Amino acid sequence: MPSPRRLRLISRHGGGHTPPTLALATLIALVALLVLAPAALAAGTYTGGADEYPQYVPNDHTAIAVHLSAEGLEASQTYNIKVRFSPQPAPASTANRGFVWNASAGRWVQEREGGSDWSAFPVVTTDSSGRISGSGGWLYTKFGDVTHSGTYYLLISLKKTGAGSGETLNGTLETPVTVIDMASDGFWVHNGEATSTTGAKRVEANVSTGGTAPFLSLQKTEANGVDDDANGTPDDEVYFTEADKTGSFLMPAPIDTAFNVYLGSQSAPTWTFTGAQSATPDVDIALSTASGADMTPPAAPTSLTVTGSLGKATLNWTASADSDVSFYRIYRWRDSEDTQSTAVKTLVTQVDGATTTYEDTGVLFWGQYYYEVRAVDAATNVSARCTSVRTHTVPTTLTMSTLAVTVDYAETVRLQGTLNGLTTEPARGQVTVEQSTDGSTWSSAGTTSVGRSGAINYDVNPTRKMSYRFVFAGDQVYAASTSSAVRISPRPQALGRPITALT
């Protein structure tokens, strides 16, 4: 955009004199465009937001239910819905967290997915009055980052289906929630008996009577059409028994807080449990109205070790101190490649309560895995997790050398090195050769193979001063390593050819 001064220069050299009033009008129009353009791209608002939601939100991948109420929208119009948790009352870019469940696609959608393209997000249709309410307003969301907790705002944003950037609508309701670290400040409850309740019925945890906000937690009974455990299959979760899966529920709550659980209608719940409470974090209690029911989780197993070998990981642990353990659940995950969420801990299997070892063969040949084990008793109470353990890998070191560090222009020079520490053929049998002109920013120059001997050879033809290094990414058995760098300087080209080496 030309500056005002540049506009005057243009008018003087344009052939003829520009009338002062026209130049002033042009300038005013340009200034107005600059002032109003950001407003045109800013998000608008709709009246409403989350009118029923939990006060406490787990920071892991536990699913929760929320209810949206909105009005003042276009009648009988479809809108895409984005749910996010922000540390401020408005969206906060990379500080946002959260996922929303898209039932049509059968998957969780992260709040930042797609940028201005919201086609991956779930769709809701307004009624003839331009409102979203009733059963059509129920959504499922989760926080999904165990590295964060504290006060966040639950934001539900809308965008008319097919609309472009700058047409986002944010709700007028402010909904602060407390995101709790379940490892230290929260626990779960589930039904420890058949509830005789049908699927997708409201479940609320409340410190007072049913239907009275604020709610500690909100969820829907199974089957609810949601992949609550994020294993890729909706409605396969079993919280009590397989035979009584319909009507079962799992919901989070803060420790050291007495609350009641109500299932079904707010005015006439079909199942009620009063006085649920735990002082122990990270456990899952099986609530039961039966007299003398066991609602005490077993002690966690201890001393977990994980040994990696080619194509498998072997787990060993010390049994729970409780004698009534029915089985152990084994969870596995890898480091998340996303900076705004942590990995889902996937249930690999469960083994008999008399077993304290497991061989996991469902792993890739490279990369490291984390494991943890939980004990489950006969009443389906679940212990806290044992200390998580990463697969053990053999340390490696990488060396690099070359016969010459000053060579002729574009002369072939061989980089040599050794990957030390190998006793078997590495599953990921290649090493990346990286190059850098400044020694800090590196890019790939290619790859070369490495076998059991660990010997590495790679030829380069430098035309400018360049640093090189070897990088081994590691696999399930051998740890990653990087060599020190070697810098090679080519001599200038012969006279008459362009000299590009001296940079």
The reported pLDDT for the residue numbered 5 is 36
pLDDT tens-digit readout, 328-370: 999 999 989 899 999 999 999 999 999 999 999 988 766 678 9
Average pLDDT of the chain, as a whole number = 89
User: Domain locations in the chain?
Assistant: 44-180, 186-287, 302-390, 397-490
Predicted model pTM: 0.77
pLDDT tens-digit readout, 51-106: 999 999 999 999 999 999 999 999 999 999 999 999 999 999 999 999 999 999 99
**Taking 90 as the threshold, does the pLDDT of residue 10 lie above it?**
no
Asked if domains 44-180 and 186-287 share a fold, the reply is yes
pLDDT category at 425 given cuts 50, 70, 90 is confident
**Taking 90 as the threshold, does the pLDDT of residue 380 lie above it?**
yes
pLDDT tens-digit readout, 225-260: 999 999 999 999 999 999 999 999 999 999 999 999
125 vs 308, higher pLDDT: 125
CA atoms within 13 A on the CB side of 204: 25
The CATH classification number of 44-180 equals 2.60.40
SS3 1: coil
The CATH class that applies to domain 397-490 reads mainly beta
List, edge to edge, every strand of the sheet that includes 302-309: 302-309, 312-318, 357-360
Topology annotation, domain 302-390: Immunoglobulin-like (2.60.40)
d(CA 146, CA 396): 31
pLDDT category at 266 given cuts 50, 70, 90 is low
The CATH class that applies to domain 186-287 reads mainly beta
**Taking 90 as the threshold, does the pLDDT of residue 317 lie above it?**
yes
**Taking 70 as the threshold, does the pLDDT of residue 9 lie above it?**
no
DSSP codes of every residue in 167-229: --EEES---EEEEE-TTTTEEEEEESS-----TT-EEEEESSSTTPSSBSEEEEPSP-SS-TT
pLDDT tens-digit readout, 391-413: 877 889 999 999 889 999 999 99
The reported pLDDT for the residue numbered 365 is 66
Reading the block at residue 290, the tokens are 């039966």
DSSP character at residue 427:
S
Using omega within 30 degrees of 0 as the cis cutoff, is the peptide bond preceding 214 cis? yes
